[in-house]
């Protein structure tokens, strides 16, 4: 969330190795300063990230289902329990649906807006600000508002969007939103898309701006139609941007928690995802199961992030 | 060289920051006249009640210093998480709030709170609290907390004006759920919400009163000690009633909390609401008069039964100030403490010796029932089951709210009982 300039968009070209300052002998104590500089970071990250991940995995392998101390080693028992539990499978399915909708929604809208603005629409900076603004709101704050907008009352007691549909005589559009057992989770994706599309737009806009005008001119001179221009010149140049967007939105989506807590609350069944279940298990003192859910969540995010990190690492070495 | 020195300094600075933050938590204890009271009473009538208690405490113990350890948010769940990490780290407060009854099971099993049986005998509290309550508080033969207040869960709130509009006698009483359901259907036919309800825990609350009405007090108690069969036909019939009742509620329940549901009755949009007697505070705040603007009777079929829940205070093992803890517990048990707290919070005293002459009209009826009725423990509010069991029940009820599958609900409840039944 905080890295607004994704690595793959455009990097400042690496300059050659800086020359060693004159008068400095090679092989001296040159390594002391860098090691000291990174040492605090290494220690802090080592303890608070990797140390705690290790401790979490350790807890998830224990027989520790109440607030008392562990009753011994349980192996993979907790994981086996999780994956035979219908409710956990349901929450995974919800997470998958949510992520797919969130990704497709933000990418499509974000691209569309970026494309419109890129065509030198009037008042570009105004629209850019308008589209980007929702991102500045926290999920909890917007969740409180969307809780009202997505109220599932219909007819007389309708409020929010359902009321709007009624006023516009579009009654058939009224629906139970997030309380629907099968598709309820998609209603949660609506505010998420609203909030993050502007961000994806900014990414794509940066991508568009990074494509040199000469390339377009060259393509036009070669007789490419507008569609061919996009298909063979622009899109390939935008694919690293799209990848970054997928990674950033994807990992945010997999960790969704605050939005659901604000809109539906933790016990609501139709909006269960692994993160809310982790919270419920933690609150009731079932630490082993809670840790197991946390580990599963970490692995799911890792599946998305690790290949990306590996490929960026390779690209950087190639340079 | 200069760069190295700078880096060294920066590194040391960063490390010392770490060291400072690591030490920070040690330097708090010390003063033994401090009594830290850990609660989730941070606002509204609960905060007013706590303030009233503190006043009594200060009068009774001028040499002790009350420290407010309240943690707000999440209807107590945030506070419980904070409390648990403190207990696990061996830094308990002097005393903490917990629902009286089976909710304490986890703390007891983990050896985190002390048995107060001796203290009860020494201070003569056994004579002050009704026997039925003491019986409900006992776990493994010991009593682990001192109750500060009593609420009644099986209350039915109604709006007489709405009932009249639907052609139903305003002060009609019902012997059974069936008679009541018949009238609810009539109300629905008039296009009024018959029964208002809110999010998941209020649905557990409704289910609990339905089980109590259909099974009776004895079989209801049996659900929690294993003598009543969860998979039996009585429970099945009760669940069918619950299902019918839920179909007669407002459809937007998931988006509401209890004050919204009660407000529907106050505003005349709904006829009935089943809620604990903290709802009384909502009627009082809006200057409504009992028996003219609203009525409050036991849920049909639960007449003569008091479905209780209570807040209570504990004595953590290895607390920082044991004599201070006992002083606080004594304030809780004292008549002055009980009266001051409950008048402000809108509940009734747990002790039968407290002077309740100037309590409100509704509270008077509750005090009378408390002394006369059979007492059973509430599920939705931690008196009847452990936290684990309640979490499983809530999950099953929440699922039923979205898929309406009564068979699956019963299955879920049976499973929850098997996983959590006390041995």
- The CATH number assigned to the domain holding A84 equals 1.10.3720.10
3-state secondary structure (DSSP) of residue B199: coil
Q: How many Å apart are CA A312 and CA A6, to the nearest integer?
A: 11
How many beta carbons lie within 10 A of that of residue B106, not counting itself?
Answer: 20
Assign B365 a pLDDT band (cuts: 50, 70, 90): very high
Half-sphere exposure of B90 (CA within 13 A, CB side): 1
Closest residue to B254, CB basis, from A34, A44, A179:
A179
Question: What average pLDDT does this structure show over B390-395?
Answer: 94
> Using CA of residue B389, residue B391, residue B394, residue B396, what is the dihedral sign?
negative
C-alpha distances out from residue B277 to A136, B34, B83, B208, B299, Å: 42, 34, 27, 15, 12
C-alpha distances out from residue A138 to A143, A145, A197, Å: 8, 11, 15
Element (H, E) at B376: strand B374-377
A44 Cα to chain B: minimum distance (Å):
8
User: Which residues, numbered 185 to 224 in chain B, qualify as contacts with chain A under a Cβ-Cβ cut-off of 8 Å?
Assistant: 199-201
Q: Is the pLDDT of residue A11 over 60?
A: no
Q: A21 at the B interface (CB within 8 A)?
A: no
User: What residues of chain A lie within 8 A of the CB of B402, using their CB?
Assistant: 179-181, 184, 269-270
Residue B309: phi and psi, rounded to 5, are: -145, 155
Assign B23 a pLDDT band (cuts: 50, 70, 90): very low
Judge whether B314 and B107 are in contact, CB under 8 Å.
yes
> Using CA of residue B4, residue B7, residue B12, residue B15, what is the dihedral sign?
negative
pLDDT tens-place string over residues A109-150: 999 999 999 887 788 889 889 999 999 999 999 999 999 999
Q: Is the pLDDT of residue A25 over 60?
A: no
β-pairing verdict for B145-152 and B374-377:
unpaired
User: What residues of chain A lie within 8 A of the CB of B87, using their CB?
Assistant: 67
Q: Which domain holds residue A68?
A: 40-318
Of B105, B343, B306, nearest to B209 by C-alpha is B306
Q: How many Å apart are CA A62 and CA A70, to the nearest integer?
A: 6
Element (H, E) at B375: strand B374-377
Residue with tokens 């995010």: A301
Q: How many Å apart are CA B353 and CA B57, to the nearest integer?
A: 19
C-alpha distances out from residue B246 to A268, B131, B188, B197, B400, Å: 16, 36, 12, 8, 10
B250 contacts A267? CB cut-off 8 A: no
Domains delineated in chain B: 32-151+309-372 (3.40.190.10), 155-307+379-420 (3.40.190.10)
Residue with tokens 């839920």: B246
Judge whether B306 and B373 are in contact, CB under 8 Å.
yes
Q: How many Å apart are CA B340 and CA B283, to the nearest integer?
A: 21
Q: A71 at the B interface (CB within 8 A)?
A: no
How many beta carbons lie within 10 A of that of residue B73, not counting itself?
Answer: 12
C-alpha distances out from residue A76 to A36, A56, A58, A90, A251, Å: 40, 14, 11, 21, 26
A67 contacts B88? CB cut-off 8 A: yes
3-state secondary structure (DSSP) of residue A13: coil
β-pairing verdict for B270-274 and B155-158:
antiparallel
Per-residue pLDDT, A21: 53
Half-sphere exposure of B382 (CA within 13 A, CB side): 19
A184 contacts B251? CB cut-off 8 A: no
Residue A17 lies in a domain: no
Question: What order of strands is seen across the sheet that includes strand B155-158?
Answer: B193-196, B270-274, B155-158, B295-298
Judge whether A152 and B252 are in contact, CB under 8 Å.
yes
A39 contacts B250? CB cut-off 8 A: no
Q: Is the pLDDT of residue A1 over 50?
A: no
Q: Where are the strands (E) in B76-154, listed by range?
A: 95-99, 145-152
Q: How many Å apart are CA B372 and CA A288, to the nearest integer?
A: 45
Residue A257 lies in a domain: yes
- Mean pLDDT for chain B? 89
Q: Is the pLDDT of residue A12 over 60?
A: no
pLDDT tens-place string over residues A259-318: 999 999 889 999 999 999 999 999 998 999 999 999 999 999 999 889 888 988 888 888
> Using CA of residue B44, residue B47, residue B53, residue B58, what is the dihedral sign?
negative
B127 Cα to chain A: minimum distance (Å):
33
Q: What pTM was estimated for this model as a whole?
A: 0.86
pLDDT tens-place string over residues B215-232: 999 999 999 999 999 999
Per-residue pLDDT, B349: 94
Which residue from A minimizes the CA distance to B270?
Answer: A157
Residue A27 lies in a domain: no
Query: Best mutation site among A30, A31, A38, A67 for testing chain B: the one with the most B CBs within 10 Å?
Result: A67
Q: Check residue B257 and report its DSSP letter.
A: -
Q: Where are the strands (E) in B39-136, listed by range?
A: 65-68, 95-99
Per-residue pLDDT, A6: 45
Which residue from A minimizes the CA distance to B401?
Answer: A269
Residue A5 lies in a domain: no
Q: B263 at the A interface (CB within 8 A)?
A: no
Q: Is the pLDDT of residue B29 over 50?
A: no
pLDDT tens-place string over residues B109-167: 889 999 999 999 999 999 989 888 998 899 888 999 999 999 999 999 999 999 999 99
Q: How many Å apart are CA A96 and CA A253, to the nearest integer?
A: 9
Per-residue pLDDT, B44: 81
Residue A268: phi and psi, rounded to 5, are: -60, 130
3-state secondary structure (DSSP) of residue B251: coil
Assign B423 a pLDDT band (cuts: 50, 70, 90): low
Residue A18 lies in a domain: no
Q: A20 at the B interface (CB within 8 A)?
A: no
Q: A67 at the B interface (CB within 8 A)?
A: yes
Q: Check residue B268 and report its DSSP letter.
A: T
Q: A223 at the B interface (CB within 8 A)?
A: no
A284 Cα to chain B: minimum distance (Å):
6
pLDDT tens-place string over residues B234-289: 999 999 999 999 999 998 899 888 999 999 999 999 999 999 999 998 898 899 99
User: What residues of chain B lie within 8 A of the CB of A33, using their CB?
Assistant: 3-4, 7-8
Query: Best mutation site among A24, A91, A265 for testing chain B: the one with the most B CBs within 10 Å?
Result: A265
Of B209, B212, B218, B203, nearest to B156 by C-alpha is B209
Residue A281: phi and psi, rounded to 5, are: -65, -40
Q: How many Å apart are CA B199 and CA B144, to the nearest integer?
A: 31
Count up the domains in chain A and report the number: 1
Residue A30 lies in a domain: no
User: What residues of chain B lie within 8 A of the CB of A286, using their CB?
Assistant: 388
Half-sphere exposure of A319 (CA within 13 A, CB side): 12
Residue A186 lies in a domain: yes
Per-residue pLDDT, B9: 58
Residue A22 lies in a domain: no
A40 contacts B11? CB cut-off 8 A: yes
A284 contacts B388? CB cut-off 8 A: yes
């Amino acid at each position: 969330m905080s890295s607004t300039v994704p690595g793959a968009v455009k990097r400042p070209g690496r300059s050659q190795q800086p020359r060693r300052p004159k008068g400095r002998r090679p092989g001296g104590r040159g390594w002391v300063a860098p090691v000291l500089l990174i040492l605090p970071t290494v220690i802090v990250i080592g303890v608070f990230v990797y140390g705690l991940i290790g401790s979490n995995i350790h807890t998830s392998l224990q027989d520790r289902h109440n607030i008392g101390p562990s009753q011994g080693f349980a192996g993979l028992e907790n994981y086996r329990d999780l994956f035979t539990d219908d409710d956990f499978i349901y929450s995974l399915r919800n997470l998958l649906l949510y992520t797919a909708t969130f990704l497709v929604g933000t990418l499509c809208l974000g691209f569309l807006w970026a494309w419109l603005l890129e065509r030198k629409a009037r008042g570009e900076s105004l629209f850019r600000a308008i589209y980007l603004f929702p991102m500045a709101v926290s999920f909890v704050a917007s969740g409180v508002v969307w809780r009202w907008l997505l109220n599932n009352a219909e007819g007389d007691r309708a409020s929010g969007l359902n009321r709007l549909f009624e006023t516009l005589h579009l009654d058939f559009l009224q629906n139970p939103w997030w309380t629907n057992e099968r598709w309820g989770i998609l209603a949660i994706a609506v505010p998420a898309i609203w909030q993050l599309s502007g961000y994806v737009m900014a990414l794509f806009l940066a991508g568009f701006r990074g494509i040199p005008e000469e390339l377009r001119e060259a393509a036009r001179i070669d007789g490419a139609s507008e569609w061919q221009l996009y298909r063979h010149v622009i899109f390939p140049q935008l694919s690293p941007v799209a990848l970054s967007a997928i990674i950033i939105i994807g990992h945010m989506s997999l960790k969704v928690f605050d939005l659901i807590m604000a809109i539906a609350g933790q016990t609501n069944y139709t909006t269960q995802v692994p993160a809310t279940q982790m919270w419920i298990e933690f609150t009731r003192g079932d630490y082993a199961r809670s840790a197991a859910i946390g580990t599963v969540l970490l692995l799911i995010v890792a599946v998305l992030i690790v290949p990306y990190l590996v490929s960026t690492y390779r690209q950087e070495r190639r340079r | 060289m200069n760069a190295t020195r700078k880096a060294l300094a920066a590194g040391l600075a960063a490390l010392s920051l770490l060291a400072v933050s690591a030490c920070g938590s040690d330097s708090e204890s010390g003063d033994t006249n401090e009594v830290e009271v850990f609660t989730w009473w941070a606002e509204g009538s609960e905060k007013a009640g706590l303030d009233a208690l503190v006043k009594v405490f200060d009068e009774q113990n001028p040499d002790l210093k009350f420290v407010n350890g309240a943690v707000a948010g999440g209807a107590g769940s945030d506070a419980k998480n904070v409390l648990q990490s403190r207990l696990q780290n061996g830094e308990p407060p002097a005393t903490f709030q917990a629902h009286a009854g089976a909710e304490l099971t986890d703390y007891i099993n983990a050896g985190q709170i002390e048995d107060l049986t001796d203290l009860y005998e020494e201070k003569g509290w056994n004579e002050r609290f009704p026997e039925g309550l003491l019986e409900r508080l006992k776990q493994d033969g010991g009593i682990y907390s001192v109750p500060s207040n009593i609420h009644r869960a099986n209350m039915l709130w109604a709006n007489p004006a709405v009932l009249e509009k639907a052609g139903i006698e305003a002060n009609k009483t019902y012997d059974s759920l069936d008679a009541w359901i018949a009238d609810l259907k009539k109300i629905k036919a008039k296009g009024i919400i018959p029964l208002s309800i809110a999010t998941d825990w209020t649905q557990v609350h409704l289910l609990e009163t339905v089980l109590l009405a259909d099974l009776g007090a004895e079989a209801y108690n049996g659900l929690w000690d294993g003598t009543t069969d969860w998979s039996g036909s009585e429970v099945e019939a009760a669940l069918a009633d619950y299902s019918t009742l839920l179909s007669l509620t407002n459809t937007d329940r998931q988006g509401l909390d209890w004050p919204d549901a009660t407000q529907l009755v106050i505003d005349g949009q709904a006829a009935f609401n089943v809620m604990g007697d903290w709802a009384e505070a909502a009627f009082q705040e809006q200057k409504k008069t009992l028996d003219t603007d609203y009525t409050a009777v036991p849920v049909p079929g639960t007449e003569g039964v008091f479905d209780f829940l209570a807040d209570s205070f504990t004595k953590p093992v290895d607390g920082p100030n044991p004599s201070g803890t006992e002083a606080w517990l004594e304030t809780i048990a004292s008549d002055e403490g009980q009266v001051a707290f409950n008048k402000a919070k809108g509940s009734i005293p747990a002790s039968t010796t407290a002077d309740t002459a100037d309590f409100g009209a509704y509270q008077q009826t509750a005090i009378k029932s408390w002394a006369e009725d059979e007492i059973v423990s509430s599920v939705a509010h931690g008196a009847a089951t452990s936290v684990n069991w309640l979490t499983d029940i809530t999950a099953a009820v929440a699922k039923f709210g979205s898929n309406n599958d009564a068979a699956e609900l019963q299955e879920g409840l049976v499973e929850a009982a098997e996983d959590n039944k006390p041995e």
